[in-house]
Structures are given as structure tokens and as C-alpha cells.
Amino acid sequence: MREEVNTGAVISKTAPNPTVVKLTNLWKKLIKNKSAVIGGIMILLFILIAFIGPHFTPFSPNAQNTVNRLATPSAEHWFGTDHLGRDIFSRIIHGMSITLYVGFFSVLIGTTIGVVLGIISGYYGGKVDTIIMRLMDILLAFPGILLALAIVSVLGSSTENLIIAVGIFSIPVFARIVRGSTLAVRKLEYIDAIKALGANDARIIFLHILPNVTSPIIVQATLSIATSILTASGLSFIGMGAQPPTPEWGAMLSDGRNYMWDAPHVATIPGLAIVVVVLAFNLFGDGLRDALDPKMKN
Amino acid sequence: MFTFIVRRIIQTIPVLIGVTILTFSMMHLIPGDPAQIIAGESASPEQIELMRERLGLNDPLPVQYFDYIRGVVTGDLGNSIRSGRAVSSEVFLRLRPTIELAVYSTILSVFIGLIAGVFAAVRRGGLSDSLVMIVALFGLSLPNFWLGLMLIQYLAIGIDIFGINTGWFAASGWGTWQQQVLPVLTLGTAGAAIIARMTRSSMLEVIDQDYIRTARAKGVKERVVIYRHALKNALIPVVTVVGLQFGTLLGGAVLTETVFAINGLGRLIVDSIRARDFPIVQGGVLIFALLFVFVNIAVDVIYRLLNKRIDLN
Amino acid sequence: MAETTDILVEEPILEVRNLQTSFFTKEFEVKAVDGVNFAVPKGKTLGIVGESGSGKSITSLSILRLIKNPGKIKGGEIIFKGENLLDKTESQMRQIRGNEISMIFQEPMTSLNPVYTVGQQISEAFIIHQNMSKKEAMLRSVEMLELVGIPSPKQRVKQYPHELSGGMRQRVMIAMALACDPELLIADEPTTALDVTIQAQILELMEDLQDRLGMSTIMITHDLGVVAETCDYVAVMYMGKVVEYATVKDLFKNPKHPYTVGLLNSLPRHDIDLGEEDLTVIQGSVPAPDQIPEGCRFAPRCPFASDICHERLPHLEQSEDGNQIRCWIYTDEWDGDPEVNVNGERTS
């Protein structure tokens, strides 16, 4: 069986595999990187809040209290109440899981499809490459949020469709990055050596190409979560995402804008929540990139 | 250069075809029968059938697509369901504020981004460098619709500081400069942050190049080294970002126009989605995409002009 | 031996005394240049030879004070025409750079700014130092290109660096360096990145121009062949220190420092038929910058090293013939084999 050839052992003999970063090394670098540490701790905290927070909120996120509408922050309602008298603090806590859920899953969709397309494109080249990259160009031709907006307009507004739309929106970035890295790895000598030993394509892709493109994927995925949260909350803000009464932050902001004169905090607080979460992912992504990509030092 | 532009336009043809296929499919992918939607809820089966015939929905798909393309080329994008007017005229009427908004915001973001980026790069590792980069990271993390609302809150509605009311600018509309300042700030902030970060890292890369050392060895003043020798090289990758940024700004206009109640194309699309006026959505999305594709060609041309290293062949 | 073997007899245009340049990392200090002394006599060429990492390029950048963070000139004196360059202000230094002292770099491919034409880049020197108008400067640039032997200079002046070959670009660098008629030219490995045939052309051009313009030159190289062809004097550097300083004639005829001997032995010679097997190399490699030997820097690799070599650093001392040598073997304190013949290695 040709499969029995141990291609793993070849790496050390032919050429060092240059782009794979050892996990222990990565950890050491991450710990030293201020923005990675701050961002990472913030993200962990947010995940914790998303999971256990809803059990400890003082009010139900959808409990209305028509007597106490648009109340300013107080000891009872830390962040005040909205136009239906709902406790904003409780809604923010419940909204955390929605925000992270949308961010993670849309990026998961984008990453999975993008990575598969990128590897196929970069590894096989030729016509397949041209077709896939043209498809990506077409997706990229819709500026910014518009692609996601167009998709939601066709699928209809809901949190699930929002995830799909934002996910598709982030495919091209991954496809391009992964294609680039795959091309670079494919050119390395040791890939030829492994091929000469009879490894099949799947083995080369999974054992040798994929580990090499992991770092740029992780970095991009982290940064994409930040962008996706912004895009998703923007779509919810114009009513094209999560529907009321879901305590989604963009939708809450949209409710609050009608009361800017009397109760600015109703719109201010959900926006701040978005800023803090997006900032955490951007910080962590920046730190990761510094640690994983030696070129970007300083 | 002329042949380059022509070739670049020819290269976009597959993309343009893809874009039109996508916008064409939008009509067919929406849940429900387009004829029913366009004819209206209360239409009789005969009326729907008539509409189906008029829209060519009984033809095979390729025929429908070519009809659509013919319409696009001749400027016939169908009629609005709400107003019954031609989509093309509705869309073009709304195009101007959107383009102005995107262009002004791009100019603002390039201006601020370049200054901040160079400033930070020159002071690499210093306190002001870190400060600029932290502000940029915040700028990158702000949802622009929220930033817009906050600007309205503090600079249009205004607050009283020492008896002075800060409500200097208008909260809605597009026309006077008082109306334009806040939307441009709103839309330009994220772009400025991205361009500042890009400029900084590009400058840092260039500053370590051998030719910068050559310039210093020639006795060139440090200021001239930075602005003449380094910046011009550092700009090359920044141009690409500016181009992409313009696209993001065009898309971002959708939100900004909603926040500031600007009668632009973005808001038209959002309103039309709500009203299920799909011909307008379809036409508006197509126009946005076409606009962006041509901006990209323009960026490539500028890139080419700046970067003499790319061989013209 | 009657003619000037004593280097210091001639009037020097540049004298470097105890120059120290270090690079600071978080953990330690790397002494790239560690107390270097030499002089460049007027109108003559001094070669600075050494392996990569010996500090020769840092020395040259220190002279023009072009050391960037985290590097720093820690001490010493750089006397140019009687004045210490280390005492000058930055703006005074700018008047000197490219005007009185010019520099040519190793990588002609990357040392020219890709976004400006060759003419614009040469012109800049005239505009800065001679207050010329752009038009005048461009005309002078054409003349400079002609001087360095670039055919059809009027057309070339409008071209961008990427349109020129490596050899052409190095000619442009030379034209740029010589534009303001400098008194001292520092050439940092000017031919290393070029093809062999082009190397010879560039060296010939430089020699020819030196004869015509009468400037002094510092030729930094790792190639003793280049030294033999172009230099009058040589300073051999090893790990930030000058280990031997002699006239070219003496150095090739009678090398003293074991390191110099090693370098010469690793050079294929055409005059003596040694046979392939006699081509030797120096044992070991240059130690890492954080593992500097305590005694003589070269001791760990030196075939003659004795106890004293590992313990104490020898001084750079003048020998009877006027040359300078940093080696215990030539001192009274030598505790090794009294009959040691460093050169013996070479011919035996």
C-alpha cells in the first residue's frame, strides 16, 4: 500500500515546515501580548455572561411595565428601562448570547465554506481556481453590508437568516486568504517530496496544507467575528435581522432612537455593549496576528 | 494605459454577468409568486396571469434573463410596485446624495487616516503612537449607526455646557453643510481608522527599506525623507484599501442614510424591502454593484499610475 | 621598505578613534563595533575586511551617523578634516552626508527609490547641497550618468530603477554618491550583489573615478580579491574589533594575525599553485553576539591559541614595520610555542 509511507517523517528530513507555529510557542507569545491578553479575558468574560448571565438577571428580558417607562438608570434598573418599561440591563445580558451566537455561527459558515473553496482553488489551480475566484469577485462586487442586506431581503428577516446572510458575506475573505496560503505552501519543496512518496491529495491537504493555513484562518476568523457582529447588529437596526421582542442589541438601539430626546440612554447603552464586544474581538485578533505573524512585529 | 483600462473593463465582464445573474435571481428566489406580489394582494387570477405574461414569467429562464439584460443595457429596470414609476428614474433620483456621502466620507477618512497613520509611524513605539492606535481600534469597533445617533444626541439635539448649547448641526436631511457634517463623520470614522492602521504599518515597512537609508545618506532632511521618499511608497498598498473602503462606505451609506433620514439610494432600498417593492430593491442593488465595480477599475488605474514597478505588459 | 609603510605618517582625511557602536535588546547589549581605530589617508583607499557580522558595515554607517534605533554610537571619535563628527548637530551632519562624505550600498536592487526616476534621485543631491534649480540639476544628472559610463544618459535619466539592470543601478548609485564631489566615499560591499563580470567593471569604474576626482575611499568588503585590486591599506575586522591594520602589500606578503592568514588561505590563489586540497577554511564559526569570548575574540577558532589568548584581550599594537596587529603571538607576553610561525601554515 502506498498509503503506508510515513509522510510525516519526511518533513524533518527535507525541509522544516516553516509556517506552522507550535502551540506552546503561540501561548508564550500570546501571554506577552497586551492586546491579546486583554481581548482574550474580555471574550472569556462575555462567553461566561452569555451562558450563566440569563439565570441571574433581576428581571425577565421581556417583562413589560407600562408604569415605569423610559426610566433613567437607578439602583433598581441599572441601565434604566425602555419604552415598554422593560429592564435594559436584563435585556443586555440576554442579548449577549444572541450577539455571540450570531457572531460565532456566521463566521463558522463563512470560514467553513471559504476554507474549502480556498483550498480547492489554491491546490488544484487552473479552471477550478478561475471559476471559484470569479464567484468570489461577484460576491465582492456588492459593496459592504449590501450583499447581506440583499440576501436577507430574499430570505426574509429572522435571526437564522441573518446568520446565513452575514456568513455568506464573509466567505470571500476566507477563500482569498486560504487560497493565497495554499499556493504558498504548495510551492514548498517538501510538498513535492511527499507527493513523490505517493501521498494522495486528501492526505496532503489535511496533513500538510491545512495545518499551514491555520494561523491566518484563526486571525481572520477572530477579526471577522467583530465585523460580523457589527454587520448583524446593523441589519437588525434597520429591521432586517432579529425581530422584536428579541433582546438583540441592534434592534434595541432601533427602538431607542425614537426616544432620543427624552431618554437617550435607551439607545446609548445597547450601542456601548456592541462597542465593547466588538472591541474585545478586534483586540484579540490584533494580538493573535502579532503572535502568529512575525512579519507584523512592532 | 488606455489599453490597460480597456483590458481591465473587459476583465470585469464575467463579474458583471455574475452580478446581473444574482440580481436577476433575487426576483425568483423571493418566497411567493413575483407576479402575485407585483400585481398586488387583491389581484384576481386573471390579473396575475396578465402580469405574468407582461413580465415574461412564462418564458424559459434563459429567455427571461436575456430580456432582463436587454432591459439593464437600455436602462429599463422595470417599474416600482408602489409608485408605478420606472425603477431607473427612481433610483437615479436617489443616487446623488449617496454618492456625495460616500465621496465626502472617503475624502475625510483618507485625510484623517493618512495624517494619523504617518504621525503614529514616525513615533513608533512612543506614547502618541499607542494613543493613535487605541483611538483607531475604537473607531474600528464603533457601529456607525450608533455613532450617528450619538452625534445627533450631542451635536444636533445638543447638550448645554457652560450655557452653550452644542446643537450646532442638523439631525436629518442632506443639502446644507449643517446637514452633511454629521453623516460624513459617522460614515468616515471607521474608514479613517482602517486607513490609519494600514498607513502606519505600510510606513513602518517602508521606513526600513534600503532606499530610505540611501536618502538619508544623501543628506535629505528627515521631514523630506518621510513625506517624499517614504510616504509615496507607503501609499501604494493604502490605495487598494481606500478602494475597498469606498465600497464599504457605499454599503454603510444604507445605515447612515437611515439614521439621518437622507433620501439616498440606501434608504430607498431599505424602505423598498420593507414595502416588498422588489423591482426597486433589485435595481438599487444592481446600481450599487455596478458603481462599486467601476470604482474598483478606477482604483486599479490609480494604483498603476502610482506603482511604476508593475510592468505595463 | 623606504616608502610610507607607517600608516600614520600620511595626513589622514578621516580618523576613527575607539569607536563603539552597540545595539540594545531587552536582554543584552550587542557590541557591534567595539573600540575600532583606523585612519584613511587623503586620496587613498582603505579596505575594511571581515566576515558578515564583524561590524564593518556598522562602522561605515556610524561614520555617517546613520545608526538607527536600537543601535547607538556609545563612544569614540570620528575625526573628519580635523573635526569630530560625533560633536556635530543633525543639521550639520546633513550638510556632510552626500556632500563631503558619500556612501554606496551593497544592494543596488533595493537602494534606489522605486517611485522616482533615476534623474530625480541624482538631482536631489544637487538640489540639497548646491542649491540648483530642478532643471540645472537634471542637466548635471545627465552628465553624472555619462561620467559613470551609462550609455544614452539623456534617456536613462527619465527611467525608473526597475527599468535598469543591477550593474546599471549600481552605476546610478555611484553617480548619485559622486554628484557633489565628495572628499570621502564609503563603498559598502559595492559589488557583492552583482555578477562577476559586472563586479570587475564597477571596480574599474570606481578606481578610474577615484584617480580623476582625487577622493579618498573606504572599501568595505568580505572579498580579499577586491582588496588586492583596489586598496592601499587594509583593516581586518573580527567581531567588532580591528585585528590587523597594514598596507595591502604587507598584508598579502606577510600576514600576521592568524585570522588574516586564515582568510588568505581560504582564498583560491592564482600565483601559487597550491592544489585543491590545500585550500583551507577557518575552523568553527563566528560566535553568537551574546557569547563573546573573554580573551581574544578569535581565540576559540585560532589554531595557535594558548592560555593567555583565552584569558586576556590583546591590544592593537604597532610593529616595527609600522603596521598594527592585535595578537599575543607578537608580544613579549606570549606564553605559547616561541617558535610559532603563523605564515608557515600557508606554504608548508
Q: What is the pLDDT of residue A283?
A: 92
Which residues in chain C are closer than 8 Å to B213, comparing Cβ atoms?
66, 105, 111
| Stretch B247-260: mean pLDDT | 87
The reply to whether residue A141 touches residue B269, judged by beta carbons under 8 angstroms, is no
User: What average pLDDT does range C155-175 have in this prediction?
Assistant: 89
> What value does the mean pLDDT of chain A take?
81
Q: Identify all chain C residues contacting B210, using CB atoms and an 8 Å cutoff.
A: 105, 107, 110-111
The band of C278, judged by pLDDT with boundaries at 50, 70 and 90, is low
Which cell numbers in the block locate residue B43? 389581484
Q: Does C129 touch chain B (CB under 8 A)?
A: yes
Q: What is the percent of chain C with per-residue pLDDT over 90, rounded to a whole number?
A: 18
Judge whether residue A82 has pLDDT over 60.
yes
Q: Tell me if A146 and B289 make a contact (CB, 8 A cut-off).
A: yes
CB contact under 8 A, B213 and C160: no
- Find the CB nearest A150 among B249, B250, B285: B285
Taking an 8 Å cut-off on Cβ atoms, the answer to whether B213 and C66 are in contact is yes
Q: How far is CA C337 from CA A142, C122, C324, in A?
A: 83, 57, 22
For residue C40, the distance in angstroms to the closest alpha carbon of chain B comes to 19
Omega before residue A245 within 30° of 0, cis: yes
Among C61, C96, C111, pick the best mutation site for testing chain B contact (most B Cβ within 10 A). C111
Of residues C66, C94, C105, nearest to B221 (C-beta): C94
Could you tell me what percent of chain B has a pLDDT over 70?
98
Nearest to C115 among B217, B222, B232 (CB): B232
**Beta strand pairing call for C45-49 and C216-221:** parallel
Cβ atoms of A298 and B121 within 8 Å: the answer is no
CB contact under 8 A, B308 and C105: no
Q: Which three cell numbers stand for residue C202?
A: 564597477
- The whole-number average pLDDT for the span A79-99 is 83
DSSP class of residue C85?
Answer: G
Q: Which helix (H) or strand (E) holds A10?
A: helix A8-14
Which one has a higher pLDDT value, B1 or C94? Answer: C94
pLDDT in tens, C226-246: 888 889 999 999 888 889 998
Tens of pLDDT along A210-243?
887 888 888 889 989 999 999 999 998 988 888 8
pLDDT of the residue at C165: 87
The minimal CB distance from B150 to the residues A135, A226, A268 is found for A268
- Taking phi first (over 0 means left), then psi (-120 to 50 degrees means alpha), and beta for anything else, what does residue C278 get? alpha
pLDDT of C7 above 60: no
- CA distance, residue C51 to nearest chain B CA (Å): 21
For C:226-285, CB contacts with B below 8 A are none
- What's the 3-state SS for chain B? CHHHHHHHHHHHHHHHHHHHHHHHHHHHHCCCCHHHHHHCCCCCHHHHHHHHHHHCCCCCHHHHHHHHHHHHHHCCCCECCCCCCEHHHHHHHHHHHHHHHHHHHHHHHHHHHHHHHHHHHHCCCCHHHHHHHHHHHHHHHCCHHHHHHHHHHHHHHHCEECCEECCCCCCCCCCCHHHHHHHHHHHHHHHHHHHHHHHHHHHHHHHCCHHHHHHHHCCCCHHHHHHHHHHHHHHHHHHHHHHHHHHHHHHHHHHHHHHCCCCCHHHHHHHHHHCCCHHHHHHHHHHHHHHHHHHHHHHHHHHHHHCCCCCCC
Express each pLDDT in B125-165 by its tens digit: 888 888 999 999 999 999 989 999 888 888 887 777 887 87
Q: Looking at residues C317-327, what average pLDDT do you find? A: 82
Contact residues of A toward B, CB < 8 A: 134-135, 137-138, 141-147, 149-150, 152-154, 156, 226, 230, 233-234, 237-240, 250, 253, 256-257, 260-261, 264, 267-268, 270-271, 274-275, 278-279, 282-283, 286, 296, 298
pLDDT at A3 over 50: no
Angstrom distances, CA of residue B100 to CA of B89, B262, B290, C178, C223 = 18, 11, 16, 52, 63
For residue A8, pLDDT over 50 is answered with: no
Q: Which residues of C281-319 are buried (b: 16+ CB within 10 A; e: fewer)?
A: ebeeebeebeeebebbbbbbbbebbbebbeeebbebeee
CA distance A170 to A136: 10
Question: Which residue's entry shows cell 564597477?
Answer: C202
Determine contact, residues B94/B268, Cβ cutoff 8 Å. yes
Q: Say which residue, C121 or B163, is predicted with more confidence.
A: C121
At B184 the pLDDT is 92
B211: cell is 532606499
How far off is chain B from C95, nearest CA to CA, in Å? 6
Is pLDDT of C101 > 60?
yes
- List chains adjacent to chain B, taking adjacency as at least 3 C-beta pairs closer than 8 Å: A, C
Q: Which residue has the higher pLDDT, A10 or C294?
A: C294
Higher pLDDT, B186 or C336: B186
Cis peptide bond upstream of A247, omega within 30? no
Contact B56, B64 (CB under 8 A): yes
> Which chain A residues contact residue B249 at CB under 8 A?
143-144
Residue C114 to residue B276: CA distance in whole angstroms: 54
- Answer whether B289 sits within 8 Å of A142, measured CB to CB: yes
Q: Average pLDDT for residues A69-76, to the nearest whole number?
A: 75
Domain range summary for chain B, segments of one domain joined by +: 95-306
Chain A residue nearest residue B202, CA to CA: A296
Which stretch of A213-222, C30-39, C266-275 has the lowest confidence by average pLDDT? Answer: C266-275
A128-168 pLDDT, tens digit per residue, is 888 898 888 888 888 878 888 888 888 888 888 899 999 99
Q: Which of A146, A230, A260 sits opposite B288 (nearest CB)?
A: A146
A105 band by pLDDT with thresholds 50, 70 and 90: very high
- Give how far A260 is from chain B: nearest CA, Å: 7
Chains C and A touch (3+ CB pairs under 8 A): no
Between chain A and chain B, the number of residue pairs with CB atoms below 8 A apart is 145
Whole-number Å distance between alpha carbons of C201 and C167: 9
**pLDDT tens profile B30-68:** 777 777 777 777 778 888 888 888 777 778 888 888 888
Q: Which residues of B touch A267 (CB under 8 A)?
A: 146, 149, 153
Q: For the segment C168-202, what is each residue's pLDDT rounded down to a tens digit?
A: 888 899 889 888 889 999 998 888 878 888 888 88
B259 grid coordinates = 439614521
Q: 3-class DSSP state for residue C22?
A: strand
Residues sharing a CB contact under 8 Å with residue A20, sequence separation 6 or more, in sequence order: A211, A212, A214
Ramachandran angles phi, psi of C325, nearest 5°: -145, 140
Cα A201 to the center of its chain, rounded Å: 29
- Backbone φ/ψ region at C55: left (φ over 0), alpha (ψ -120 to 50), beta: left
Query: Which pLDDT does position C279 carry in this prediction?
Result: 55
ipTM associated with this complex: 0.86
Are A260 and B152 within 8 A, CB to CB? yes
- In this predicted model, what pLDDT tens digit does every residue of A274-296 receive, in sequence order? 999 999 999 999 888 888 765 54
- Could B218 and C160 be called an inter-chain contact, meaning their C-beta atoms sit closer than 8 Å? no
Residue B112 banded pLDDT, cuts 50, 70, 90:
very high
| Mean of pLDDT values over B220-237 | 88
- C138 has pLDDT over 90: yes
Which helix (DSSP H) or strand (DSSP E) does residue C38 occupy? strand C29-41
pLDDT tens digit string along B13-30? Answer: 888 888 888 888 887 787
Split at pLDDT 50, 70, 90, the class of C4 is: very low
Q: Does domain B95-306 have CATH number 1.10.357.10?
A: no
User: Percentage of residues in chain B with pLDDT exceeding 90?
Assistant: 17
Q: How far is C186 from chain B (nearest CA, A)?
A: 10
| Inter-chain contacts counted by CB atoms under 8 A, chains B and C | 69
Q: Which residue of B has its CA nearest to C186?
A: B217
The partner residue sitting opposite A260, judged by closest CB among B141, B149, B274, is B149
For C74, the enclosing helix (H) or strand (E) is strand C71-80
Interface test with chain A among B146, B286, B288, by most A beta carbons within 10 Å: B146
CA distance C123 to C180: 10
Q: Is C112 on the interface with B (CB under 8 A)?
A: yes
For the cut 80, the answer to whether the pLDDT of residue B253 exceeds it is yes
Say whether residue C125 is in contact with chain B using an 8 A CB cutoff.
Answer: yes
The pLDDT score that the predictor gives to residue A22 is 59
**Three-class SS string for B167-223?**
CCCCCCCCCCHHHHHHHHHHHHHHHHHHHHHHHHHHHHHHHCCHHHHHHHHCCCCHH
Closest in B217, B232, B306 to C103, CB measured: B217
Q: What is the pLDDT of residue A47?
A: 92
